Structure 1
Amino acid sequence: MKVNTRKLAAAGMMTALGVSLSAFSIPIGASRCFPIQHLLNVLAGVFLGPSYAVGFAFSTALIRNLMGTGSLLAFPGSMAGAFLGAVLFRYTGKVWTNFAGEILGTGVIGAMLCYPVASLLLGNQEAALFTYVLPFFISTAGGCILAAILLGAMYRSGTVRYLQGMLKGTEQ
């Protein structure tokens, strides 16, 4: 794989944003919604593509775990959503498929992938297969709503097209 230094730098900046803004949360019922990672997953899908999006999600989860501000559940959740959203966006070119991929990838697939992590690595024997679906779904829906607002403004101003061209190395 050829390394695109512009995409690598953008992924690094998104990782820094994901780590530094990970303390921002919104209380929803008995759970807390951490939408920034999901907002950034959607942006990574639009601007970076699947491989850089997964790398960014992995890096953010790794740094947060090393700092003690994250959990092992961040790995399957964020990476599955970033990958599925970016792949769907790449093949359709439609932003709504990125949102759908993020919600399905994180909210359902990633949440279900957390079951073996929780039961085997974290010792949570009470965890069921669908334990994390509702909290992950709430969090990813919040991030997708924020991403829709941000991307809507960016599309109207022409910023999305400009940044996509710049990250590919061809200014438009």
Structure 2
Amino acid sequence: MNQVQKITYMALFTAIATFGSSLVWFPAGVAKAYPVQHAVNVMAGVLLGPGPAVIIAFVTGLLRNFMGTGSLLAFPGGMIGAFLAGYIYQKTSRKWGAAIGEVTGSGIIASLFAVPYAKILMGTAAGAFFFLPAFLVSSLSGSLIGFILVRRIIKMKVWKYRLNN
């Protein structure tokens, strides 16, 4: 895949995640769950790799914050999950590995990272178990959607460009 195609796909995934997150959400404990971001993380991790997936998550978080539809917690949650989704897929070549990486990164690691992050940048003094349920619900639902979509995309052979091509 050449650079122009890769950047175009990255822009498309960013647009889907940004717009989709404003349309599809549900309450998950103390926060809102945005499964579209997690689905895009899984798909981008599998189809483009960990680097582009992290960039997509960062730009999506930036756009959502500028538009007022996201919080600062979108950065660690999206970026850690996107990296692990792409990295685990790259190492195992298993689509379910990308989904597990997204849940582990966004649902567990990012919720633990959110505690000092929220205290320093947002002035919120909350414990780890405050963020964990909401992050897990959001990442589990989105990872499942992303896993199903990426399996269909590859099975239908509509994605011409595979990792390492």
Q: TM-score, normalised by structure 1?
A: 0.87
CA separation of 1:36 and 1:129: change in aligned 2, threshold 3 A:
same
Q: What residue is the counterpart of 1:57 in the other structure? A: 57
1:30, CA displacement in angstroms?
Answer: 6.4
SS in 2 for 1:124: coil
Residue of structure 2 in register with 1:19 after alignment: 18
Q: Over alpha carbons, which structure has the higher Rg? A: 1
In structure 1, the residue matched to 2:143 is 144
Q: Cα deviations across residues 35-54 of structure 1 (Å, max 9, x unaligned)?
A: 00000000100111111110
Equivalent residue for 1:92? Answer: 92
Distance of aligned partners of 1:29 and 1:75 in 2 relative to their CA distance in 1, 3 Å threshold: closer
Query: CA, structure 1 residues 101+13, in 2 after alignment: closer, same or farther (shift >3 Å)?
Result: same
The alignment status of 1:122 with 2:127, answered yes or no, reads no
Deviations 1:18-69 (A, max 9, x none): 1111121134566542100000000100111111110010000011111111
- Structure 1 residues 30, 66: closer, same or farther in 2, change over 3 A? closer
Query: What's the offset of the Cα at 1:8?
Result: 1.2
Give the match's secondary structure for 1:158.
coil
Distance in 1, Cα, partners of 2:76 & 2:133: 15
Q: What's the CA shift for 1:123?
A: 0.7
User: How many aligned residue pairs are there?
Assistant: 163
Separation in 1, partners of 2:41, 2:58 = 11
Amino acid at match of 1:137: L
Q: TM-score, normalised by structure 2?
A: 0.90
Moved more, 24-33 or 12-21: 24-33
How far the C-alpha of 1:5 sits from its partner, in A, is: 2.0
Where do 5+ consecutive residues of structure 2 fail to align?
A: none
Identity %: 36
Structure 1 residue 155: Cα displacement: 3.1
How does 1:1-172 map onto structure 2 within 5 Å? 4-23=3-22, 24-28=24-28, 32-125=32-125, 127-160=126-159, 162-164=160-162, 168=165
